[in-house]
Homo-oligomer: A and B are copies of this chain.
Amino acid sequence: MRLTSKGRYAVTAMLDLAFHSQLKPVTLIDIAARQTISLSYLEQLFARLRRANLVKGVRGPGGGYSLCGDAHNISIAEIVAAVGERIDSTKCGGEANCQKTHECLTHDLWMDLGDHVKSYLEKITLADLLAKNRVQEVAERQDQHAQQTIEIHNHADLMHTLQ
């Protein structure tokens, strides 16, 4: 089992998408700024998410990414799997050949743990997370902060053109 920043970034970005892409596509630049994730790294993750048919990209001005389908139908397990994070903890990957031809002493333990975690993450959808108060609060805080950043940025641009 290996659940690192890769999966965390992917789920966070997808949740940001679910929150902001109701009306129009969201650019990775915006997501990167709001969630403080490297843009280039996000691009790599979204390449995988696109291949897994979880998001669709729209090119050109006004483009960006939107969810493929409804937030109710996208589970955390799917997102995590799409970017290649292994939930399984066995050595053999479920093949039961962890000790040469046979299973190892703890094979069943790790199988059970893997199943447990998998079903836990399968039961949680993006819509479930979106419905939580805490998530709404954090998202709104991030929007405000991002708005401020844009204003500072515009101000800097203005000062620059005036000089």
Contacts and interface: CB of A to CB of B under 8 A. Distances in A.
Which of A2, A8, A90, A117: most chain B CB closer than 10 A? A8
Chain A: interface size category: 35 or more
Contact of A109 (B11, B107, B116): B11
A141 B16 contact: no
A15 interface: yes
Interface stretch (A58-66, A95-103, A147-155): A95-103
A27 interface: no
B135 A105 contact: yes
A102 B5 CA distance: 17
Contacts of A110: 8
A108 B8 CA distance: 12
B142 A105 contact: yes
A49 interface: no
B120 A8 contact: no
* Among all A-B residue pairs, the 3 with the closest Cβ atoms: A1-B3, A12-B106, A3-B89
